[in-house]
Amino acid sequence: MHREVVKREGNTFLLVVALIVIIFVCMSILDYIEVSNYRLVVELIAIAVLTVIASMVIKYKIIEYQYVLIDEEFIAHRILGRKDTVVFSVKKENIVEIAPITSEQLHKWSKIDKCYKLTTSFGNKNKYYGVFCKDGQYFKAIFEPSEKLLVLLEKSMPNIATR
């Protein structure tokens, strides 16, 4: 059994506090702006923008992902606080392909609509995509495995190249 957790580096608490301060500052600034006829519209736009920023912070800073390789199964979890959700679970024989996200092989799987993004970073560094088959349906997942997980996947499935 192999288990690893992928999470963002840095201090998440300070980021959340900074986000709350920014929200209060922006709302205070809006109180001083004279937009008499369009006050409601400006406030709704401000709330929408701040909501998008907050959701990005949650997605890329607070959420953790756990990849587990148990006997004949590969399982991906999404962890938000104490809530642990299994995103997908596939048997090793249902893993079709694993390759770096920058690989040219990804284009041949472009028709697959269902794609799970299990990453905590913005760039393509250390990101891999996996193509899996479950119940006759193909799906993709973009994830950030460690070198150890890649080696274990290659050992257990010699027909899968992860490089």
> Total structural domains in the chain?
2
Distance CA 107, CA 55 (A): 29
CA angle 116, 118, 120 (to 5 degrees): 145
Cβ neighbours, 10 Å, residue 60 = 14
Instruction: Read off the pTM.
Output: 0.69
Domain membership of residue 31 (yes or no) is yes
Q: Mind listing the pLDDT tens digit of every residue in the chain (163 residues)?
A: 787 777 666 666 777 777 778 877 877 777 777 666 777 777 788 788 878 877 777 766 778 889 998 888 899 999 887 888 999 999 988 888 888 888 887 778 888 888 899 887 777 778 888 898 888 889 999 998 888 888 888 877 665 655 5
Domain membership of residue 161 (yes or no) is no
Domain of residue 38 covers 7-62
Q: What is the 3-state secondary structure (H, E, C) of 31-67?
A: HHCCCCCCHHHHHHHHHHHHHHHHHHHHHHHHCEEEE
Domain membership of residue 110 (yes or no) is yes
Domain membership of residue 12 (yes or no) is yes
* CB distance 87 to 116 below 8 Å: yes
Q: Which is nearest to 161 in space by CA: 125, 120, 130?
A: 130
**104 and 31, same domain (yes or no):** no
